[in-house]
Chain A
Amino acid sequence: MMLMLRRLRAVSPFQVVLITLFTGLALFMSLPIVFIFNHAFKPQNELFLFPPRFFVRHPTLHNFETLFLHASNATVPFTRYLFNSLIVVSLTLISVVVVSTMAAYVLAKYEFHFKQLIMSLITLSLMFAPETVSIPRYLVINGIGLNNTYLGHILPSLASPVAVFMLVGFISQIPRDLMEAARIDGAGHFGIFVRMILPLSVPAIATISILTFQGVWGDVETSTLFMQKETMRTLAFYVNSLLSGLQNNVAGQNMAAAAGLLIFIPNLIIFLLFQRRVLETMVHSGIK
């Protein structure tokens, strides 16, 4: 008790204001998540209430029942979408991490011709809205004949300028001495990469993993544009299709609410999982 009081006394008025402000901001930022959770359990009449309410009055599992009923009656089973999503997400995640870390290591730590040009191109490609490259991307995918293949899902997101850009920033902070010590100890370029750079970049890798996961898991565009076969489309597409297009808009609302929660949960899990790792590695990195 005494300790708590002493701690409280150590907080200056400015800090009080700051803490209050940020707590408020954090609560505000969490509202969509609160909404998703509540929305999924709302009965039909509450879903269409106007003005809409944040919190559910009479929670029900009816939405999930409808969703699973609908899914089990569809031509393509729900599990197929799930399987596609899992395959695409895991392969993309692994390959993005492998390709981006390797590229970033070389860009951050070695001197070679056209390095500046490559860095500028990467920065430049960060500035494009994805929509602007939809058509060229379609032409490329179609031209190579990747329609209706998993590669068609994976390849477009494989080259991730955001990931490379972030990792270059992170890896260039790893002291040169460490690499030199490893070189003298007998490690080659690849040895340094695997033994030093990868383990030390875990916080950055965790961050880009979160970003990549969220991007790919929620991506509808690829399924819409490049996948004409229903069996090659992903979960995100399926959930999206409940609301738009073929389905009855009103009847679809409750399923969409439940599906929205289900598709959001992996995001949350991945985030919590990696976020803990991010903090952990930052505390223990002890480079200096």
Chain B
Amino acid sequence: MGSISFNHVFKRYKGESRPAVNDFHLTIEEGEFLVLVGPSGCGKSTTLRMLAGLEEISSGELYLDGRFINYVSPKDRDIAMVFQNYALYPNLSVFENIALGLKLRKTAKHEIESRVKRVASILEISHLLERKPSQLSGGQKQRVALGRAIAREPQVFLMDEPLSNLDAKLRAQTRAELIKMQSDLKRTTVYVTHDQVEAMTMGTRIVVMKDGVIQQVAEPRKLYDEPANVFVAGFIGSPQMNFLNGTIEKNEEEYYFSNKRMKLLLPEAFGRRFEQARKTVRSVILGVRPEHVILKPGSSDEVNTVTGLVHMTEATGADSYVYVQLGSYLLIARTNPEQIYATGDVVSVAFMMNKIHFFDESTEELIGSDEA
């Protein structure tokens, strides 16, 4: 019930040379909470709309539970969708909004009544059933839209940025409720968002897309720890990962990362990865997350340590982010808020060497991973 399979799906719009969705090939397991994430225009919404049947598939095949559904109309796909702007029917009451899908499917009247009431009580909107959508707040509209989807009891839920019109507090609350709801209902859910925090907290698996192409499909933790390329590394995580250009050099049996400002001795594990990648000396991009940058006041002569100047600091309460000028690079480091740094302070910078990533400068792909 509810497994979906995309088989090399393309979407080309008339008059555009580049496909909006380019070779989308993925199987979504039953009961999975899959999040499609990426910047606007990356094709995530188009993918969702193809799955809903609102957009034609240019080439490739789409299966729902093994059934070929390329040409099945939206109403016969047994899916429900929650839209970004809720798309509540303004001329109908909340009750009628939730009931319409059931009514159009010729569900018995008493059945409709009981299902709507049950859904309304789950979502705590029982007292709103007689109202019109224009009399609801944003959060209430959002619940009605959810209720409309749940009442149908479809095999698959599709959600197109359903939280983006809510304010920050309500968004966090609704996010938690959605996660709970999904784990209770155990229905396959495909969720589109541009917000990487939503993606990381909600998805059992995340698909990162860019320019219509899947960049990486992985569980949240893996996506964070082993981003497949520079784009994913930069997109997931806030503040974003620091990138430094440089070259890998081999000196006897030891590997070094070096550029104008620094020369870092790399742990052995990297040596194995570089050897597997079969090229020893080449241009790379070093990626390191702000929480893996270690700052100390004052300069230092230790190995693998560079000296820089504090450019500015940002205190968020729980953490402080310090921007350090390293030549032409501006490096962000997450630090303990107890330690105060002032602009212009001299600091020594070191990296947690087992947490850094190397990307090929020409392809921007990750060089070797633990699995490879």
A285 partner residues in chain B, CB cutoff 8 A = 90-91, 134
Please pick, from A183, A199, A288, the residue contacting B91 in the complex, using a CB distance under 8 A: A199
* B179 in the interface (beta carbon within 8 A): no
Q: Is the interface of A mostly helix, strand, loop or mixed?
A: helix
Task: Say how far A194's CB is from chain B's closest CB, in angstroms.
Answer: 11
A177 interface residue per 8 A CB criterion: yes
Q: Interface digits, A160-203 against B, CB 8 Å rule (1 contact, 0 not)? A: 00000000000000010110111111111001000110011000
B104–A181 CB distance below 8 A: no
B54 with A180: CB separation less than 8 A:
yes
A185-B100, A185-B101 known; A180+B87 contact, CB < 8 A? yes
* 8 A Cβ contacts from B22-80 to A: 52-54, 73-75, 79-80
Contact indicator B54/A183 (Cβ below 8 Å): yes
Within the complex, the shortest CB–CB distance from B256 to chain A, in Å, comes to 55
Q: Give the contact-size bracket for chain B.
A: 20 to 34
* Interface assignment of A286: CB less than 8 Å from any CB of chain B: yes
- Nearest Cβ distance between residue A173 and chain B, in whole angstroms? 12
| Interface residue? B81 (CB, 8 A) | yes
Taking a contact as CB atoms under 8 Å apart, the answer to whether B133 and A286 are in contact is yes
Taking a contact as CB atoms under 8 Å apart, the answer to whether A181 and B89 are in contact is: yes
A287 adjacent to chain B (CB < 8 Å): yes
Partner of A181, one of B73, B81, B91, B135: B81
8 Å CB interface, A51-86 against B: none
Contact B85 A177 (CB under 8 A): yes
Q: In the assembled complex, which residues on chain A have CB atoms less than 8 Å from the CB atom of B105?
A: 186
- In Å, the complex CA distance between A162 and B135 comes to 34
- B81 CB contacts on chain A under 8 angstroms: 180-181, 184
Q: Is the CB of B75 within 8 A of A187?
A: yes
Contact with A along B89-104 (1 / 0, CB 8 A): 1110000000011001
Q: Find out whether the CB atom of B134 lies under 8 angstroms from the CB atom of A175.
A: no
Taking CB atoms, residues of chain B closer than 8 Å to A188 are 75
Question: For the complex, is B148 an interface residue (Cβ under 8 Å from A)?
Answer: yes
Q: How far is the CB of A176 from chain B (nearest CB, A)?
A: 9
Confirm or deny: B224 has a beta carbon within 8 angstroms of a beta carbon on chain A. Answer: no
Q: B146 to chain A: closest CB distance in Å?
A: 13
Select from chain B the residue with minimum beta-carbon distance to A281. Answer: B91
CB atoms of A184 and B90 under 8 A apart:
no
Q: Is B83 an interface residue (CB 8 A)?
A: yes
Q: How far is the CA of A184 from the CA of B87 in the complex (A)?
A: 12
A287's closest neighbor in chain B, by CB? B90
Is B132 an interface position by the 8 A CB rule? yes
B83 near A181: Cβ-Cβ < 8 Å: yes
Known A-B contacts A181-B87, A284-B132, A284-B134; A187 and B104 likewise in contact (beta carbons under 8 Å) = yes
Residues of chain B at the chain A interface (Cβ within 8 Å):
52-54, 73-75, 79-81, 83-85, 87-91, 100-101, 104-105, 132-135, 148, 152
Ranked nearest first, the 8 interchain pairs of A and B with the lowest CB-CB distance are A286-B134, A186-B104, A185-B101, A177-B87, A199-B91, A186-B75, A181-B87, A184-B74
Q: Which residues of A contact B (CB under 8 A)?
A: 175, 177-178, 180-188, 191, 195-196, 199-200, 284-288
A to B CB contacts below 8 Å, 24 in the list? A177-B84, A178-B89, A181-B81, A181-B87, A181-B148, A182-B89, A182-B100, A183-B74, A183-B75, A184-B54, A184-B74, A184-B75, A185-B100, A185-B148, A185-B152, A186-B75, A186-B101, A186-B105, A195-B100, A196-B91, A199-B91, A284-B132, A285-B90, A286-B135
